[in-house]
Amino acid sequence: MRTRGLFALLLAGFAAACNNAPLPEGARAGRDEAAGRRIFERKCVSCHNSSGDGKTIVAGHFPHANLIDGKWRSDGSAAAIEEQIRRGRDPMPKFEGKLTDEEIRQTVAYVLALSHAANGADPAPAGGRP
């Protein structure tokens, strides 16, 4: 009988430890940026360069290829960057249908982090302006 009580107590402890509580926001943001970086390296580097400065043979003469100079085609908000990735705008291709909504969101997180790091600023929340 005593073994059952101990087993029940251990089981309750494991159940509590394995709850599906969300990660703290900082952990999620870091995970999104890491995933966004992998997507950026696969899909975006040919035009935006790995540093985000846009100095590539493909897009070096397009001023908006530079993602780290603070000069955005739009207001530079997460929503505007997401729209740019999703819908594209000449010469940038659209990625809707090529990337999932989550992948687009992760790429936005990385682009914002890249821009903030280049400007020496702390990253803004996902809905904030760089």
Mean pLDDT of the region 10-39? 67
Domains and CATH numbers, the chain: 26-118 (1.10.760.10)
Q: Which of 10-19, 48-57, 81-90 has the lowest mean pLDDT?
A: 10-19
- Give the separation between CA 120 and CA 130, rounded to whole angstroms: 11
Per-residue pLDDT, 90 = 85
Mean pLDDT of the region 14-20? 50
| pTM of structure | 0.70
Q: Residue 23 is encoded by which pair of tokens?
A: 């990660």
At residue 27, what are phi and psi to the nearest 5 degrees? -65, -40
Mean pLDDT of the region 60-86? 90
Q: Residue 90 is encoded by which pair of tokens?
A: 């000449």
Who wins on pLDDT, 74 or 28? 74
Who wins on pLDDT, 63 or 31? 31
- Average pLDDT score over the chain: 80
